A and B are shown apart, each in its own frame.
Chain A
Amino acid sequence: GESVGLHLPTLSVQEGDNSIINCAYSNSASDYFIWYKQESGKGPQFIIDIRSNMDKRQGQRVTVLLNKTVKHLSLQIAATQPGDSAVYFCAENSGGYQKVTFGTGTKLQVIP
């Protein structure tokens, strides 16, 4: 049968508050990082990306921070809305056009 499901870590935030989702990556050679949002029963949706020569990138309501020293990535969502409720994954890309591998994911629950 299927593998026993692991429980995703869950972050609960009040509507209107800011959310910070963290991710540790493993490969020091990774040169490109992406945050994806996945709603139930759907494929991942691109949110924002950052290359390894940057430490911060901002989009609309979202900011990604990259700390290569400790191999840490974070996603900040400003003024969190109920529509932001989903599972968020960080992903890393190594060596140009090679594979994109995903982190474990965090479930974001927005409390109205």
Chain B
Amino acid sequence: GAVVSQHPSRVICKSGTSVKIECRSLDFQATTMFWYRQFPKQSLMLMATSNEGSKATYEQGVEKDKFLINHASLTLSTLTVTSAHPEDSSFYICSARVVAGLEAFFGQGTRLTVV
């Protein structure tokens, strides 16, 4: 299957700082990328859907000014957690959908710890 690379895999940051997570589709073009967060022993919760060249669509309850999403090209989307707090500590996962396709491929996830 197609490969989605997420970077970094782990990051520890201080409270109040911002962290950027990258999601790249390595061997295909993705018009749509999705960002999820996952708490321990829970399912993946969709945060936002980003389409290349347009503003992301955020799910209800997700602060768009806190979780900045940029999808500037068909192979790269970034999620920036701004002014991070300990409650933002979580596992963040991106997925990418091929052009005119249904299947979504997932990155390996980023473990964010805010101290």
Residues of A within 8 A of B (CB): 1-3, 5-8, 32, 34, 36, 41-46, 49, 89, 93, 97-105
Contacts and interface: CB of A to CB of B under 8 A. Distances in A.
Interface string B67-91: 0000000000000000000110111
Interface in B64-115: 86-87, 89-91, 93, 95, 97, 102-109, 111
B49 interface: yes
B103 A1 contact: no
Contact of B106 (A1, A44, A98): A44
B54 interface: no
A5 B43 contact: no
Contacts, number: 71
Contacts of B6: 43
B40 interface: yes
A32 B101 CA distance: 11
Given A41-B109, A42-B109, A2 B102 contact: no
Interface residues of B, number: 33
A45 B102 CA distance: 15
B42 A3 contact: yes
26 contacts: A2-B87, A5-B42, A6-B42, A7-B41, A8-B41, A34-B103, A41-B109, A41-B111, A42-B108, A43-B4, A43-B93, A43-B106, A43-B107, A43-B108, A44-B93, A46-B105, A49-B103, A89-B44, A98-B49, A99-B34, A99-B46, A100-B46, A100-B95, A102-B36, A102-B43, A104-B43
Interface of B: 1, 4, 6, 31-32, 34, 36, 39-46, 49, 86-87, 89-91, 93, 95, 97, 102-109, 111
Contacts of A97: 31-32, 97, 102
A1 B34 contact: no
Contacts of A98: 49
Contacts of A5: 39-42
